[in-house]
Amino acid sequence: MNDHFADPPGHAADTPAPAEHRTPSGTMGRLFEVWAEPKGRAIEVAPRTWQVTAGVVNVAVIETDEGLVLVDTAMRHDGPELLRLIRTVTDAPLHTVVYSHAHIDHAFGHGPLLAEAAERGDPPPRIVAHRAVLDRFRRYIRTADLNTTVNARQSGGPRTWWPRHDTDIFWPDTVYDDTLTLRIGGEEFHLHHARAETDDATWVWIPGRRVVCVGDLWNGVCPNAGNPQKVQRYADEWADAFDRIAAVGPDALIPGHSMPILGAATIRERLGNAAELLRHIVAHTLDALNAGRRPDTILDTLRIPPRLADLPYLQPLHDRPEFIAANVIRLNGGWWNGYAADLLPTPREQLAAVLAELAGGADTLAAKARDLIGDDLQLACHLAELAVLAAPDNTGAHEAAVEAFTRRFDAETSFMGRGIYRIAATTSQEALRTLTTTKDSR
Protein backbone atom coordinates (compact mmCIF):
# COMPACT_ATOMS: atom_id res chain seq x y z
CA MET A 1 0.00 0.00 0.00
CA ASN A 2 1.00 3.13 -0.07
CA ASP A 3 -0.18 1.19 -1.70
CA HIS A 4 -1.45 -1.75 0.14
CA PHE A 5 -3.76 -1.00 3.02
CA ALA A 6 -7.51 -1.20 2.68
CA ASP A 7 -10.45 -1.56 4.98
CA PRO A 8 -11.39 -5.18 5.71
CA PRO A 9 -14.41 -6.75 4.04
CA GLY A 10 -17.69 -5.29 5.24
CA HIS A 11 -16.15 -2.03 6.47
CA ALA A 12 -18.57 0.86 6.87
CA ALA A 13 -16.72 2.79 4.19
CA ASP A 14 -18.39 0.60 1.55
CA THR A 15 -20.64 2.77 -0.58
CA PRO A 16 -24.29 1.82 0.06
CA ALA A 17 -26.23 0.73 -3.02
CA PRO A 18 -29.89 0.97 -3.86
CA ALA A 19 -31.83 -2.14 -2.88
CA GLU A 20 -32.00 -3.34 -6.46
CA HIS A 21 -28.23 -3.34 -6.89
CA ARG A 22 -25.49 -5.33 -5.18
CA THR A 23 -22.66 -3.32 -3.69
CA PRO A 24 -19.06 -4.50 -4.16
CA SER A 25 -17.45 -4.82 -0.73
CA GLY A 26 -14.16 -5.85 0.73
CA THR A 27 -11.98 -4.54 -2.06
CA MET A 28 -8.94 -6.49 -0.89
CA GLY A 29 -10.85 -9.75 -1.32
CA ARG A 30 -8.79 -12.86 -0.60
CA LEU A 31 -5.65 -10.75 -0.22
CA PHE A 32 -6.93 -9.56 3.14
CA GLU A 33 -6.99 -13.16 4.39
CA VAL A 34 -3.37 -13.69 3.37
CA TRP A 35 -2.09 -10.45 4.86
CA ALA A 36 -4.22 -10.57 8.02
CA GLU A 37 -3.11 -14.07 9.05
CA PRO A 38 -0.29 -12.77 11.30
CA LYS A 39 -2.25 -9.68 12.40
CA GLY A 40 -1.78 -8.68 16.05
CA ARG A 41 1.02 -11.18 16.61
CA ALA A 42 4.71 -11.08 17.45
CA ILE A 43 6.12 -14.23 15.81
CA GLU A 44 9.61 -15.24 16.88
CA VAL A 45 11.50 -16.45 13.81
CA ALA A 46 14.91 -16.70 15.53
CA PRO A 47 16.24 -15.93 19.02
CA ARG A 48 15.45 -12.28 19.89
CA THR A 49 14.03 -11.78 16.39
CA TRP A 50 10.33 -11.23 15.73
CA GLN A 51 7.92 -10.48 12.93
CA VAL A 52 5.45 -8.04 14.50
CA THR A 53 2.27 -7.34 12.54
CA ALA A 54 0.32 -4.15 13.22
CA GLY A 55 -2.75 -4.01 11.01
CA VAL A 56 -1.71 -5.96 7.93
CA VAL A 57 1.87 -4.67 7.80
CA ASN A 58 4.90 -6.54 9.13
CA VAL A 59 7.77 -4.99 11.05
CA ALA A 60 11.00 -6.88 11.74
CA VAL A 61 12.08 -6.41 15.36
CA ILE A 62 15.64 -7.47 16.17
CA GLU A 63 16.88 -7.15 19.74
CA THR A 64 20.63 -6.54 19.99
CA ASP A 65 22.89 -5.80 22.94
CA GLU A 66 22.71 -2.09 22.02
CA GLY A 67 18.95 -1.94 21.50
CA LEU A 68 16.30 -2.68 18.92
CA VAL A 69 16.75 -2.61 15.18
CA LEU A 70 13.45 -2.24 13.32
CA VAL A 71 12.99 -2.85 9.63
CA ASP A 72 9.99 -0.63 8.84
CA THR A 73 7.50 0.96 11.25
CA ALA A 74 4.06 0.22 9.70
CA MET A 75 1.36 2.84 9.06
CA ARG A 76 0.90 6.09 10.92
CA HIS A 77 -2.37 5.03 12.54
CA ASP A 78 -0.93 1.62 13.52
CA GLY A 79 1.90 3.17 15.53
CA PRO A 80 0.25 2.63 18.95
CA GLU A 81 -0.49 -1.02 18.17
CA LEU A 82 3.05 -1.54 16.91
CA LEU A 83 4.50 -0.19 20.15
CA ARG A 84 2.14 -2.33 22.23
CA LEU A 85 3.10 -5.50 20.36
CA ILE A 86 6.82 -4.79 20.58
CA ARG A 87 6.57 -4.28 24.31
CA THR A 88 4.95 -7.70 24.76
CA VAL A 89 8.25 -9.32 23.77
CA THR A 90 11.05 -6.88 24.62
CA ASP A 91 11.67 -3.77 26.68
CA ALA A 92 14.93 -2.86 24.90
CA PRO A 93 15.34 0.74 23.71
CA LEU A 94 15.01 1.62 20.04
CA HIS A 95 18.43 1.98 18.41
CA THR A 96 18.01 1.95 14.60
CA VAL A 97 15.20 2.01 12.06
CA VAL A 98 15.80 0.76 8.51
CA TYR A 99 13.27 1.52 5.79
CA SER A 100 12.74 -1.36 3.39
CA HIS A 101 11.15 1.32 1.17
CA ALA A 102 9.19 4.53 1.63
CA HIS A 103 5.61 3.39 1.05
CA ILE A 104 3.15 4.97 3.43
CA ASP A 105 2.35 1.67 5.15
CA HIS A 106 6.00 0.99 6.02
CA ALA A 107 7.66 4.24 7.08
CA PHE A 108 5.27 6.35 9.15
CA GLY A 109 4.43 4.50 12.39
CA HIS A 110 7.31 5.97 14.43
CA GLY A 111 5.35 8.47 16.49
CA PRO A 112 4.61 6.43 19.64
CA LEU A 113 8.08 4.83 19.53
CA LEU A 114 9.78 8.23 19.48
CA ALA A 115 7.50 9.58 22.18
CA GLU A 116 8.34 6.60 24.39
CA ALA A 117 12.07 7.08 23.77
CA ALA A 118 11.80 10.72 24.83
CA GLU A 119 9.87 9.80 27.98
CA ARG A 120 12.47 7.17 28.89
CA GLY A 121 15.35 9.54 28.22
CA ASP A 122 16.65 7.36 25.37
CA PRO A 123 18.39 9.00 22.42
CA PRO A 124 16.40 9.16 19.17
CA PRO A 125 17.06 6.26 16.80
CA ARG A 126 19.20 6.40 13.71
CA ILE A 127 17.06 6.09 10.54
CA VAL A 128 18.68 4.38 7.56
CA ALA A 129 17.40 4.06 3.99
CA HIS A 130 18.43 3.92 0.37
CA ARG A 131 19.16 7.33 -1.12
CA ALA A 132 16.15 7.11 -3.46
CA VAL A 133 13.84 7.23 -0.43
CA LEU A 134 14.58 10.97 -0.20
CA ASP A 135 13.28 11.60 -3.72
CA ARG A 136 10.21 9.46 -3.06
CA PHE A 137 9.32 11.44 0.03
CA ARG A 138 9.71 14.70 -1.88
CA ARG A 139 7.47 13.37 -4.66
CA TYR A 140 4.87 12.30 -2.09
CA ILE A 141 4.63 15.88 -0.83
CA ARG A 142 4.22 17.22 -4.38
CA THR A 143 1.52 14.66 -5.27
CA ALA A 144 -0.41 14.41 -2.00
CA ASP A 145 -3.85 15.01 -3.54
CA LEU A 146 -3.17 12.57 -6.37
CA ASN A 147 -2.05 9.85 -4.00
CA THR A 148 -4.94 10.23 -1.57
CA THR A 149 -7.35 9.96 -4.52
CA VAL A 150 -5.59 6.94 -6.00
CA ASN A 151 -5.39 5.14 -2.66
CA ALA A 152 -9.08 5.72 -1.96
CA ARG A 153 -9.93 4.35 -5.40
CA GLN A 154 -7.63 1.41 -4.90
CA SER A 155 -8.73 0.49 -1.38
CA GLY A 156 -12.44 1.23 -1.63
CA GLY A 157 -12.23 3.31 1.54
CA PRO A 158 -12.28 7.05 2.29
CA ARG A 159 -9.43 9.40 1.49
CA THR A 160 -6.69 8.76 4.04
CA TRP A 161 -3.87 10.76 5.59
CA TRP A 162 -0.91 11.55 3.35
CA PRO A 163 2.28 13.52 4.05
CA ARG A 164 2.02 17.10 2.80
CA HIS A 165 4.92 18.82 4.54
CA ASP A 166 8.53 18.03 5.42
CA THR A 167 7.50 17.81 9.05
CA ASP A 168 5.10 14.95 8.30
CA ILE A 169 8.03 12.70 7.39
CA PHE A 170 10.60 10.87 9.48
CA TRP A 171 13.59 11.63 7.27
CA PRO A 172 16.56 9.25 7.15
CA ASP A 173 19.77 10.57 8.65
CA THR A 174 21.87 7.87 6.95
CA VAL A 175 21.53 6.93 3.29
CA TYR A 176 23.46 4.56 1.02
CA ASP A 177 23.64 3.73 -2.68
CA ASP A 178 24.37 0.02 -3.29
CA THR A 179 25.27 -1.79 -0.08
CA LEU A 180 25.86 -0.79 3.51
CA THR A 181 26.98 -2.77 6.55
CA LEU A 182 25.77 -1.65 9.97
CA ARG A 183 27.46 -2.93 13.13
CA ILE A 184 25.11 -2.86 16.10
CA GLY A 185 25.52 -4.72 19.37
CA GLY A 186 28.42 -6.75 18.02
CA GLU A 187 26.39 -7.95 15.02
CA GLU A 188 26.42 -7.09 11.33
CA PHE A 189 23.39 -6.00 9.32
CA HIS A 190 24.01 -6.08 5.56
CA LEU A 191 21.78 -3.70 3.60
CA HIS A 192 21.31 -4.29 -0.13
CA HIS A 193 19.54 -2.07 -2.65
CA ALA A 194 17.09 -3.49 -5.19
CA ARG A 195 14.74 -2.05 -7.78
CA ALA A 196 11.54 -4.07 -7.64
CA GLU A 197 8.15 -2.81 -6.48
CA THR A 198 9.94 0.47 -5.89
CA ASP A 199 13.24 2.03 -6.94
CA ASP A 200 14.25 2.58 -3.29
CA ALA A 201 13.98 -0.96 -1.90
CA THR A 202 16.33 -2.36 0.75
CA TRP A 203 16.62 -5.93 1.92
CA VAL A 204 18.51 -6.63 5.14
CA TRP A 205 20.59 -9.77 5.69
CA ILE A 206 21.57 -10.61 9.27
CA PRO A 207 24.16 -13.38 8.82
CA GLY A 208 24.63 -14.09 12.53
CA ARG A 209 20.95 -15.00 12.78
CA ARG A 210 20.43 -16.36 9.24
CA VAL A 211 17.45 -13.99 8.92
CA VAL A 212 16.59 -11.79 5.96
CA CYS A 213 14.09 -8.91 6.09
CA VAL A 214 12.78 -8.08 2.63
CA GLY A 215 9.91 -5.62 2.98
CA ASP A 216 7.56 -5.75 -0.01
CA LEU A 217 9.96 -7.79 -2.10
CA TRP A 218 7.79 -10.62 -0.75
CA ASN A 219 4.12 -10.35 0.22
CA GLY A 220 2.79 -13.90 -0.07
CA VAL A 221 1.14 -13.52 -3.50
CA CYS A 222 1.97 -12.53 -7.08
CA PRO A 223 4.55 -9.71 -6.91
CA ASN A 224 3.15 -6.19 -7.17
CA ALA A 225 5.17 -5.41 -10.29
CA GLY A 226 2.37 -3.95 -12.36
CA ASN A 227 0.07 -1.67 -10.31
CA PRO A 228 -1.88 0.27 -12.97
CA GLN A 229 -2.24 3.44 -10.87
CA LYS A 230 1.29 3.89 -9.57
CA VAL A 231 4.78 4.67 -10.79
CA GLN A 232 7.12 2.31 -12.61
CA ARG A 233 7.88 -1.16 -11.26
CA TYR A 234 10.89 -3.29 -12.24
CA ALA A 235 9.97 -6.94 -12.84
CA ASP A 236 13.29 -8.06 -14.35
CA GLU A 237 15.39 -6.57 -11.57
CA TRP A 238 12.97 -7.93 -8.99
CA ALA A 239 13.70 -11.44 -10.25
CA ASP A 240 17.41 -10.73 -9.89
CA ALA A 241 16.83 -9.60 -6.30
CA PHE A 242 15.08 -12.89 -5.55
CA ASP A 243 18.17 -14.71 -6.79
CA ARG A 244 20.49 -12.64 -4.62
CA ILE A 245 18.37 -13.12 -1.51
CA ALA A 246 18.18 -16.87 -2.04
CA ALA A 247 21.94 -17.03 -2.57
CA VAL A 248 22.76 -15.84 0.96
CA GLY A 249 20.91 -18.88 2.32
CA PRO A 250 18.53 -17.49 4.95
CA ASP A 251 16.74 -19.80 7.37
CA ALA A 252 13.99 -17.26 8.03
CA LEU A 253 12.46 -14.57 5.82
CA ILE A 254 10.37 -11.70 7.21
CA PRO A 255 8.20 -10.20 4.45
CA GLY A 256 6.40 -6.87 4.27
CA HIS A 257 3.04 -8.65 4.42
CA SER A 258 1.84 -12.23 5.11
CA MET A 259 3.38 -14.93 7.26
CA PRO A 260 7.15 -15.38 7.61
CA ILE A 261 8.83 -18.10 5.57
CA LEU A 262 10.89 -20.56 7.57
CA GLY A 263 13.45 -23.07 6.30
CA ALA A 264 16.23 -22.49 3.78
CA ALA A 265 14.87 -24.97 1.24
CA THR A 266 11.37 -23.47 1.35
CA ILE A 267 12.70 -19.93 0.98
CA ARG A 268 14.90 -20.95 -1.94
CA GLU A 269 12.03 -22.72 -3.69
CA ARG A 270 9.53 -19.90 -3.30
CA LEU A 271 11.91 -17.16 -4.35
CA GLY A 272 13.03 -19.25 -7.31
CA ASN A 273 9.48 -19.80 -8.51
CA ALA A 274 8.61 -16.12 -8.09
CA ALA A 275 11.70 -15.16 -10.11
CA GLU A 276 10.68 -17.63 -12.82
CA LEU A 277 7.18 -16.13 -12.95
CA LEU A 278 8.51 -12.60 -13.40
CA ARG A 279 11.03 -13.67 -16.04
CA HIS A 280 8.34 -15.54 -17.95
CA ILE A 281 6.20 -12.40 -18.09
CA VAL A 282 9.16 -10.23 -19.11
CA ALA A 283 10.23 -12.67 -21.84
CA HIS A 284 6.70 -12.91 -23.27
CA THR A 285 6.38 -9.15 -23.31
CA LEU A 286 9.77 -8.37 -24.84
CA ASP A 287 9.39 -11.09 -27.47
CA ALA A 288 6.02 -9.64 -28.46
CA LEU A 289 7.37 -6.08 -28.54
CA ASN A 290 10.23 -7.20 -30.74
CA ALA A 291 7.71 -8.88 -33.03
CA GLY A 292 5.84 -5.58 -33.39
CA ARG A 293 2.69 -6.56 -31.49
CA ARG A 294 0.46 -3.95 -29.85
CA PRO A 295 0.11 -3.73 -26.07
CA ASP A 296 -3.49 -4.98 -25.96
CA THR A 297 -2.52 -8.08 -27.94
CA ILE A 298 0.50 -8.67 -25.72
CA LEU A 299 -1.66 -8.66 -22.60
CA ASP A 300 -4.40 -10.77 -24.19
CA THR A 301 -1.99 -13.52 -25.26
CA LEU A 302 -0.09 -13.79 -21.97
CA ARG A 303 -0.36 -17.25 -20.41
CA ILE A 304 1.29 -18.41 -17.19
CA PRO A 305 2.56 -22.01 -17.04
CA PRO A 306 0.19 -24.05 -14.84
CA ARG A 307 3.07 -25.17 -12.62
CA LEU A 308 3.52 -21.54 -11.56
CA ALA A 309 -0.07 -20.37 -11.85
CA ASP A 310 -1.25 -23.02 -9.38
CA LEU A 311 1.19 -22.15 -6.60
CA PRO A 312 -0.71 -20.67 -3.62
CA TYR A 313 1.94 -18.02 -2.93
CA LEU A 314 1.90 -16.68 -6.52
CA GLN A 315 -1.83 -16.12 -6.84
CA PRO A 316 -2.95 -12.84 -8.50
CA LEU A 317 -4.54 -11.43 -5.37
CA HIS A 318 -2.60 -8.18 -5.19
CA ASP A 319 -1.34 -7.59 -8.71
CA ARG A 320 -1.84 -9.75 -11.80
CA PRO A 321 0.44 -10.91 -14.65
CA GLU A 322 -1.24 -8.73 -17.28
CA PHE A 323 -0.57 -5.59 -15.23
CA ILE A 324 3.06 -6.64 -14.85
CA ALA A 325 3.33 -7.05 -18.63
CA ALA A 326 1.87 -3.57 -19.08
CA ASN A 327 4.57 -2.14 -16.84
CA VAL A 328 7.25 -3.97 -18.80
CA ILE A 329 5.81 -2.37 -21.94
CA ARG A 330 5.88 1.08 -20.34
CA LEU A 331 9.47 0.62 -19.19
CA ASN A 332 10.76 -0.62 -22.54
CA GLY A 333 8.37 0.79 -25.12
CA GLY A 334 6.71 3.92 -23.75
CA TRP A 335 3.05 4.66 -23.07
CA TRP A 336 1.59 4.74 -26.61
CA ASN A 337 -0.94 1.91 -27.08
CA GLY A 338 -0.15 1.28 -30.75
CA TYR A 339 -3.28 2.87 -32.21
CA ALA A 340 -2.53 6.02 -34.21
CA ALA A 341 -5.79 7.77 -33.30
CA ASP A 342 -4.95 7.40 -29.60
CA LEU A 343 -1.64 9.24 -29.84
CA LEU A 344 -3.47 12.56 -29.36
CA PRO A 345 -7.00 11.27 -28.73
CA THR A 346 -10.27 13.10 -28.76
CA PRO A 347 -11.90 13.13 -25.31
CA ARG A 348 -13.54 9.76 -24.78
CA GLU A 349 -16.93 11.36 -24.10
CA GLN A 350 -17.00 12.80 -27.63
CA LEU A 351 -16.07 9.50 -29.21
CA ALA A 352 -18.70 7.72 -27.10
CA ALA A 353 -21.39 10.19 -28.20
CA VAL A 354 -20.64 9.54 -31.89
CA LEU A 355 -20.57 5.77 -31.42
CA ALA A 356 -23.83 5.88 -29.49
CA GLU A 357 -25.44 7.90 -32.29
CA LEU A 358 -24.26 5.36 -34.87
CA ALA A 359 -25.60 2.52 -32.72
CA GLY A 360 -29.00 4.13 -32.35
CA GLY A 361 -28.50 5.77 -28.94
CA ALA A 362 -26.98 5.11 -25.53
CA ASP A 363 -29.91 2.84 -24.67
CA THR A 364 -28.88 0.51 -27.49
CA LEU A 365 -25.30 0.36 -26.21
CA ALA A 366 -26.54 -0.28 -22.67
CA ALA A 367 -28.91 -3.02 -23.80
CA LYS A 368 -26.15 -4.76 -25.75
CA ALA A 369 -23.85 -4.49 -22.76
CA ARG A 370 -26.37 -6.25 -20.56
CA ASP A 371 -26.91 -8.93 -23.21
CA LEU A 372 -23.17 -9.63 -23.26
CA ILE A 373 -22.61 -9.84 -19.51
CA GLY A 374 -23.06 -13.59 -19.37
CA ASP A 375 -20.96 -14.33 -22.47
CA ASP A 376 -18.28 -11.63 -22.74
CA LEU A 377 -18.04 -9.58 -19.56
CA GLN A 378 -14.94 -7.74 -20.77
CA LEU A 379 -16.73 -6.46 -23.87
CA ALA A 380 -19.87 -5.74 -21.88
CA CYS A 381 -17.87 -3.38 -19.64
CA HIS A 382 -16.55 -1.52 -22.69
CA LEU A 383 -20.07 -0.95 -24.03
CA ALA A 384 -21.54 0.01 -20.66
CA GLU A 385 -18.76 2.53 -20.09
CA LEU A 386 -19.30 4.02 -23.55
CA ALA A 387 -23.03 4.31 -22.85
CA VAL A 388 -22.38 6.22 -19.61
CA LEU A 389 -19.87 8.53 -21.26
CA ALA A 390 -22.22 9.22 -24.16
CA ALA A 391 -25.26 9.91 -21.96
CA PRO A 392 -24.32 10.61 -18.32
CA ASP A 393 -27.97 11.33 -17.45
CA ASN A 394 -29.25 8.06 -18.91
CA THR A 395 -30.57 5.74 -16.21
CA GLY A 396 -30.31 2.64 -18.40
CA ALA A 397 -26.65 3.33 -19.13
CA HIS A 398 -25.80 3.57 -15.44
CA GLU A 399 -27.82 0.45 -14.63
CA ALA A 400 -25.85 -1.46 -17.25
CA ALA A 401 -22.58 -0.11 -15.84
CA VAL A 402 -23.51 -1.09 -12.28
CA GLU A 403 -24.38 -4.62 -13.36
CA ALA A 404 -21.37 -5.10 -15.64
CA PHE A 405 -18.74 -3.66 -13.33
CA THR A 406 -20.16 -5.30 -10.21
CA ARG A 407 -19.91 -8.63 -12.00
CA ARG A 408 -16.39 -7.72 -13.11
CA PHE A 409 -15.49 -6.82 -9.53
CA ASP A 410 -16.86 -10.11 -8.24
CA ALA A 411 -14.87 -12.09 -10.82
CA GLU A 412 -11.61 -10.17 -10.34
CA THR A 413 -9.04 -11.56 -7.89
CA SER A 414 -6.46 -8.76 -7.79
CA PHE A 415 -6.68 -5.94 -5.26
CA MET A 416 -5.49 -3.54 -7.97
CA GLY A 417 -8.21 -4.52 -10.44
CA ARG A 418 -11.00 -4.80 -7.88
CA GLY A 419 -10.53 -1.21 -6.72
CA ILE A 420 -10.91 0.17 -10.23
CA TYR A 421 -13.94 -1.96 -11.08
CA ARG A 422 -15.49 -1.09 -7.75
CA ILE A 423 -15.25 2.64 -8.35
CA ALA A 424 -16.84 2.25 -11.79
CA ALA A 425 -19.81 0.46 -10.25
CA THR A 426 -20.20 2.76 -7.25
CA THR A 427 -19.88 5.91 -9.40
CA SER A 428 -22.85 4.77 -11.48
CA GLN A 429 -24.71 3.79 -8.31
CA GLU A 430 -24.27 7.33 -7.03
CA ALA A 431 -25.37 8.73 -10.40
CA LEU A 432 -28.53 6.63 -10.22
CA ARG A 433 -29.31 7.97 -6.74
CA THR A 434 -28.81 11.52 -7.97
CA LEU A 435 -30.97 10.97 -11.05
CA THR A 436 -33.72 9.39 -8.95
CA THR A 437 -33.64 12.24 -6.41
CA THR A 438 -33.75 14.85 -9.17
CA LYS A 439 -36.67 13.10 -10.84
CA ASP A 440 -38.62 12.79 -7.58
CA SER A 441 -38.11 16.48 -6.74
CA ARG A 442 -39.68 17.70 -9.95
Q: Could you give the percent of the chain with pLDDT greater than 70? A: 93
pLDDT (0 to 100) of residue 277: 98
Cα R_g (the chain), whole angstroms = 24
Cα separation, 286 vs 298, in Å, equals: 9
Instruction: Convert the pLDDT of each residue in 214-257 to its tens digit.
Output: 999 999 999 999 999 999 999 999 999 999 999 999 999 999 99
The average confidence (pLDDT) of the chain is 93
Q: Is 156 helix (H, G, I), strand (E, B) or coil?
A: coil
Instruction: Convert the pLDDT of each residue in 85-121 to its tens digit.
Output: 999 999 999 999 999 999 999 999 999 999 999 999 9
Q: How many beta carbons lie within 10 A of that of residue 93, not counting itself?
A: 16
Confidence tier at 127 by pLDDT (50, 70, 90): very high
Q: Which of 354, 226, 245 is nearest to 295 (CA)?
A: 226
DSSP per-residue letters across 78-107: GHHHHHHHHTTT--PPEEEEE-S---TTTS
Indicate the residue type of 212: V
Cα separation, 331 vs 10, in Å, equals: 37
- pLDDT over 70 at 167, yes or no: yes
Cα separation, 389 vs 383, in Å, equals: 10
* Parallel, antiparallel or unpaired: strands 201-206 and 187-194: antiparallel
Confidence tier at 326 by pLDDT (50, 70, 90): very high
Contacts of 434 (CB under 8 A, 6+ apart): none
Q: Is 139 helix (H, G, I), strand (E, B) or coil?
A: helix
Q: Is 299 helix (H, G, I), strand (E, B) or coil?
A: helix
Cα separation, 356 vs 60, in Å, equals: 55
Instruction: Convert the pLDDT of each residue in 132-161 to its tens digit.
Output: 999 999 999 999 999 999 988 888 777 788
In what side-by-side order are the strands of the sheet with 201-206? 179-184, 187-194, 201-206, 211-215, 252-255, 261-262
Instruction: Convert the pLDDT of each residue in 52-66 to its tens digit.
Output: 999 999 999 999 999
Contact 263, 224 (CB under 8 A): no
- pLDDT over 90 at 4, yes or no: no
Q: Is 13 helix (H, G, I), strand (E, B) or coil?
A: coil
Confidence tier at 6 by pLDDT (50, 70, 90): very low
> End-to-end distance of the chain based on CA atoms, in angstroms?
45
Confidence tier at 26 by pLDDT (50, 70, 90): confident
